[in-house]
Structure 1
Amino acid sequence: MKLRTLSVIAGISYLIIFFAAIFANFFVLDSIVKEPLLTIQNDHLMVRFGIMAFIITVVFDVVVAWALYELYKKNILSGLSTLFRMMHAAIMGVAVFTLPVALTLTSEKEILNQIDLFNIIWLIGLFFFGIHLILLGRILKKPKLITISLIIAGIMYMADTGAHILLHNYDDYNSIFLALVAIPSIFGEMALSVWLLVKGGIS
């Protein structure tokens, strides 16, 4: 397959992940956290679509991992980077298995416990995703602003997971860590997806 085609596949897959994750996180999970029982009972179809959106992100995570590996397999770090992204996808897949159970629950506490379980598993996966982003930044080398953003985002993902585990009062710093992760990751990954679509694979 041509490098340009692989780059376009990776870019489109990144955009699908981005929009599916926004819907699943900010429209579905946030609604469940705010009104657990009401959302599960009255908006169960939206919740089911949210679960499907998470499954879609896992599928296209694997597609991105494959496409990026094929694009940069001459780099010695490419295989390692791919493995860490695949680890993230696998862990995320396990996390998604916890969500359909929430549809069967009738207690707000039980529903929120199930969402917490999902978040904990996902959080561990993001640690490995952070390593992938750091390695990807080293592999790409240019555009410089994108590679720096990816490396910073990777470090922040790892730091956030570590803080969740190590700090007993993490909630006091939650908004700070959210900003530290969100800003470089949204910019870096969105910019990368656009660059892959427009210029990636062109010698």
Structure 2
Amino acid sequence: MNTRTLAKIIGLSYLSIFFTAIFANFFVLEALLNDPLASLQDNHLMVRWGILAFMVTVALDVIIAWALYELFKEHVLSRLSTYFRLMHAAIMGVALFALQQVLVSTTAEAIIKQVDTFNTIWLLGLFFFGIHLMLLAKIIGKPKVIALFLVIAGLMYMLDTVAHLMLTNYDAYSSLFLALVAIPSIIGELSLAIWLLVKGGKGN
């Protein structure tokens, strides 16, 4: 498989993740936390679609990990970067077991507990994803502005996980940490996806 095809696979997979993750996180998880029983009883099909969207996200993560390795396998850090992304995907897959239990929950407290468990396990996985992004920035090198945002995003993912574990009053700063993670990650990863679709693999 030539490098241009690999770059397109990564770019398209990344863009697909943006849609599946946004749908599952902001339209399904947030609904479950805001009104657990009503969301499950009145929109149970939407909840199932949300779980499926997360499953697709995990599958796309594995595809991206493979394609990135194939595209940059000559780089000394490529294998290590791949391992960290696969760790994140594996942890996310484990977290889905907790989310699936929402479908058989009968009380609001049980639903919220399962969603919280899913979010906690996912959060731990994002620490390793942050390491992957920092390594990826080193691997791609340029465009430098994209590499810079990937480094910042990676650091913010790791910082958010550590803060979640260490700060007893994390909830008081949750909005700040969300912004610190979301802004550089969206700019960096979305820019990377577009760059790979437009220019990635050319001339290699």
**TM-score interval (norm. to shorter):** over 0.9
Shift of 1:129: 0.1
**Counterpart amino acid of 1:6?**
L
Are positions 1:109 and 2:105 aligned together?
no
Q: Aligned equivalents of 2:115 and 2:141: distance in 1?
A: 38
Q: Secondary structure at the match of 2:104?
A: coil
Map 1:41-120; keep pairs closer than 5 Å: 41-120=41-120
Q: Give the aligned residue type for 2:144.
A: K
Question: Who is 1:180 aligned against?
Answer: 180
Residue in 2 that maps onto 1:194:
194
| Alignment partner, residue 28 of structure 1 | 28
Moved over 6 A (4+): none
- TM-superposed CA distance for 1:167, in Å, is 0.4
SS at match of 1:103: helix
Q: Which residue identity does 2:196 align to in structure 1?
A: L
Q: CA shift at 1:175, angstroms?
A: 0.8
1:2 aligns with 2:2: yes
Q: 2:116 and 2:161 mapped to 1: Cα distance?
A: 14
Q: Partner of 2:160 in structure 1?
A: 160
Amino acid at match of 2:2: K
Task: Return the offset for 1:106.
Answer: 1.1
Cα shift at 1:56: 0.1
Q: Give structure 1 stretches of 5+ with no counterpart.
A: none
Distance in 1 between residues matched to 2:64 and 2:45, nearest whole Å: 28
Aligned equivalents of 2:142 and 2:3: distance in 1? Answer: 16
TM-score (norm 2): 0.99
CA distance in 1, matches of 2:149, 2:15: 17
1:128 maps onto 2:159 in alignment: no
5+ residue gaps, structure 2, are none
Deviation sequence 1:91-112 (CA, Å, 0-9, x none): 0000111112111111101110
In structure 2, the residue corresponding to 1:92 is in which secondary structure?
helix
Number of residue pairs aligned between Structure 1 and Structure 2: 203
Distance (Å, rounded) in 1 between the aligned partners of 2:14 and 2:64: 7
1:55-75 deviations in whole A, cap 9, x for unaligned?
000000000000000000100
The one-letter code of the counterpart of 1:130 is: G
Specify the SS of the correspondent of 1:97.
helix
Structure 2 SS opposite 1:98? helix
Question: 2:201 aligns to what SS in structure 1?
Answer: coil
Distance in 1 (CA, whole Å) between partners of 2:194 and 2:13 is 11
